[in-house]
Structure 1
């Protein structure tokens, strides 16, 4: 009894490769097959590039937020004072910060004074958000203390102020220059409250990578901020940095228990949650759209394979007459179609990975070709288009492309296998 050859035997690969190499005049690969190959390449490239930019944008956005802002803030629920205003002052701020530092997973906790002022130098003005913080606590803020584009000496922080690079450009300020800070809630007199105007030396200029922070943020020594904003003896809130900011919500209850009073916790996810949710929805929609694009590209394989089956009807009849089973014929044409998907996917992965790796020079060239201004940091918040190539994203794109390519190939391959050899050879 003759031994049945195993599936995807060498002769099946040989026949499939022969059909793919055949010239158009010999009934070989059609124009539709080349179109499907190019379409799959471009679709996979677009999918990987989009996933890389999506991952890079989220990482950059979250990284710059966590690099300059508190992961969580402890604030007082407050009491209504005699003037009818809600007073949220924290008088035992050092004890509260010490209790927060005892919570497992907390790196540091620091009291903070916040206020809005007008910064002025010469005829230039800019709105500024002042953060009053101690020098040792400011050293724990990675986006400020670890800024790669920083200017000046942070060790002189006690002698002046630190400001963002965007505000420094707006005011035309360099390290060593002096600026005015004007607060509307200043000195209290018998005639009312007059604005407070103080002059400070700029000792440090930082860049955290976010336009809205670099263009508005000013750091002032904690004691000086208390005096400047009339906060003597108390703080506005306590900033907390944690080891795992992505899961900061796990520490909300422990922090509340450690505070042991009428306090609340506000995390970075509470502040930026709506944007992150909108970003997630946009990511999902873009993935669906690009997945449909991949499906459309793979559907072209069906057209090309149907034409190949039609052109090779005589060959199918001869092969069946020689003893090839329906399964063998099906696998031959399955290989013809799936190889198109495999080659297109490989080319698309290469292009997508190269795009993610060399996005900076590509973006610079596009910006130069368009005359500049392609990326506005005041709108998008970060200074450049980021991309982060992740193995999971590449595997997702490859799996989607190959899965669809193999799936759509089955239909015309089955049609070829079920072709009647008598009908195929009747008019030959």
Structure 2
């Protein structure tokens, strides 16, 4: 306290006729030099000017951990959403045209019309049916899609993702293209044969009989979407039409657009240009429930982690209350020397804000690089400790995605500062209300 006494003495006695300490303090601008000096002094340890006190250190650590966790988890949730959208609409299309009243026997003309719509980058007819698929080792369910070779090569989820075999002569050499996960389940490789079974076979006097046919595995792909790699089987379009008794029609036409977020504009053009009765849906309608669940999870996790930051901010309340109690004598002396209640209030507000700011900066400095290198860290931990963090069969992705949003990082930092400010109000008010006579009476 001696240094503060000399500080006020120098200010009060600089020259004859100068204003008193009380007047000088009252007339000083908010958050002046001596208020900042005292606030920083209360943050430092008594044994080292470069280390924070134990109370401040705990508060800073709690806030930093909360901010870091919030940045990392929100980045993962953003990455999962972006990855899911890119994979789903990369292999499943953006718009879907299905027939109403009459079968799509005019699918070739309708496909040509779709490809001429502004904004549509790719449209192709497809036969899609559920079926069973088996090998000598195993059997499972599949979604069989009949697609022409030229269209299959242009699919974003397939183009460049073939790991074994080739798509060349797909139409001529009648065979199947499997996802890597399905190939692992069935225990097959390129060249092995699999059998496809459908309950909708030939019509006989005894009813409809199942149809079973063996095909060689021509290629194996890995789209990066676990469910897709485990479910989808591609057949040549003509072969799928024959196998599922659709010799002259298809049951769906898929289309890709240049800007999936602006699919409404394309839909309006399609409705205007196509007179045939069709049922038109887009990727948002098909996967609405999935992305709604993902958004609810993201909001819930944000709320939970925000509560963690709020709990960490309560450490500021506790720490400042203890600090006010510990510095009661100093506060009383400052008041008797002319420091106003507003000045004392600002000192402790500055102390709490400094704790929140340092915690937010430290949490951001740790959380941003961690979010950017999360997949590398996961791979390293799995390799060193022989673990399986983020298994693909549960999270439906082969890698741990992370997408850092600068606006969210700034929002988390601002939220932390606001919570820190609110946490300082009560302890600072208690310090400002401290009666100097009562405080010094017990010394």
TM-score band w.r.t. shorter chain: 0.7 to 0.9
* 2:134 aligns with one of 120, 133, 144: 120
- Residue in structure 1 matched with residue 123 of structure 2 by the alignment: 109
* 2:109 aligns with one of 91, 95, 98: 95
Pair 1:286 & 2:301 matched: yes
- Residue in structure 2 matched with residue 83 of structure 1 by the alignment: none
* 1:153 aligns with one of 166, 170, 173: 166
Deviation at 1:339, TM superposition (A): 1.2
Contact 1:72/1:268 (<8 A) preserved: yes
Q: SS at the partner of 2:199?
A: strand
- Residue in structure 1 matched with residue 409 of structure 2 by the alignment: 394
Mapped partners of 2:70, 2:358: distance in 1: 16
- Residue in structure 2 matched with residue 216 of structure 1 by the alignment: 231
Mapped partners of 1:132, 1:66: distance in 2: 18
Deviation at 1:24, TM superposition (A): 8.2
* 1:134 aligns with one of 131, 141, 148: 148
- What is the CA deviation profile of residues 67-118 of structure 1, one whole-angstrom value per residue up to 9, with x for unaligned ones? 1102111001235xxxxxxxxx201111211222232222121111112333
Query: What's the TM-score once normalised by structure 2's chain length?
Result: 0.85
Deviation at 1:239, TM superposition (A): 0.5
Pick the structure with greater CA Rg: 2
Uncovered stretches (5+) of structure 2, i.e. residues with no partner: 1-17
- Residue in structure 1 matched with residue 8 of structure 2 by the alignment: none
Contact 2:163/2:222 (<8 A) preserved: yes
Deviation at 1:298, TM superposition (A): 0.5
Give runs of aligned pairs for residues 37-186 of structure 1, distance below 5 A: 37-78=60-101, 89-147=103-161, 150-158=163-171, 159=173, 160-186=175-201
Comparing 366-375 and 312-321, the one that deviates more = 366-375
Contact 1:46/1:290 (<8 A) preserved: yes
Deviation at 1:178, TM superposition (A): 3.5
Pair 1:17 & 2:29 matched: no
Query: What's the TM-score once normalised by structure 1's chain length?
Result: 0.88
- Residue in structure 1 matched with residue 351 of structure 2 by the alignment: 336
Mapped partners of 2:320, 2:244: distance in 1: 76
Mapped partners of 1:22, 1:43: distance in 2: 24
Give runs of aligned pairs for residues 267-286 of structure 1, distance below 5 A: 267-286=282-301
- What is the CA deviation profile of residues 273-325 of structure 1, one whole-angstrom value per residue up to 9, with x for unaligned ones? 11211221222222222222211111111111122122222222333343433
Q: SS at the partner of 2:409?
A: helix
Contact 1:30/1:308 (<8 A) preserved: no
Cα distance change, pair 25–354 in 1 and its aligned pair in 2 (3 A) = closer
Deviation at 1:354, TM superposition (A): 3.4
Q: SS at the partner of 2:157?
A: helix
* 1:360 aligns with one of 375, 380, 384: 375
Contact 2:225/2:396 (<8 A) preserved: yes
Deviation at 1:191, TM superposition (A): 6.0
Contact 2:321/2:427 (<8 A) preserved: yes
- Residue in structure 1 matched with residue 9 of structure 2 by the alignment: none
Mapped partners of 1:20, 1:378: distance in 2: 49
Mapped partners of 1:250, 1:281: distance in 2: 28
Mapped partners of 2:160, 2:383: distance in 1: 31
Contact 1:156/1:203 (<8 A) preserved: no
Deviation at 1:372, TM superposition (A): 4.2
Mapped partners of 2:403, 2:325: distance in 1: 45
Deviation at 1:174, TM superposition (A): 2.2
Uncovered stretches (5+) of structure 1, i.e. residues with no partner: 80-88
Give the CA RMSD over aligned residues.
2.8
Pair 1:299 & 2:288 matched: no
Contact 2:63/2:313 (<8 A) preserved: yes
